[in-house]
Structure 1
Amino acid sequence: MIAIRGVLSEMNRPNSVFSLEYWKVDGTYGEKKRLALRRSGNDLSDRKKMNNSGTLKLVDLSSGVPIELYIDFLVGFNGVEINHEL
């Protein structure tokens, strides 16, 4: 099990590529294998926006498609269960 703050820290590392498991807004389960954070060039600004909105702005590296996921809906990171309480 990994704490959500550890997940966010790992995602923010330069050149980080990761997989996520999550619940969709409609209640169905989703999984993406090769993701990276979309970056604007200003890491501090990106982190503040992420924290304020509660969403992750990501890009699927397999298809190049940008996606957004709610942080609170994440359940797995690189095959490890996420604990939102820690």
Structure 2
Amino acid sequence: MANSSRHLPGYRGWTKIRRRDTTEMIVGAITGTLTRPQLLVLDRHDQTGRRLRPVGRTVPLRPDAARQGAEHLIAAAPGHP
């Protein structure tokens, strides 16, 4: 299928729009240590609000992002699965 758009010098017929949606996530798990996490497994509550469902993970964290994230991590309570 051929593109019917013509090239016109100095004119752009297409516009690229970047969109970013945000949502709240819970860090459900990490790899690495609490003081130097390597990546984060992200969860959201299910429709009942009682169970967590994994929805994604981060890319491997750079050292500065790992340090910033480590400031907010705490160990799970005893008996936590």
Which TM-score applies when normalising by structure 2? 0.30
Which is richer in helix?
Answer: 1
Question: Radius of gyration: which is bigger?
Answer: 2
> Which structure is richer in relative contact order (CA contacts within 8 A, separation 6 or more)?
1
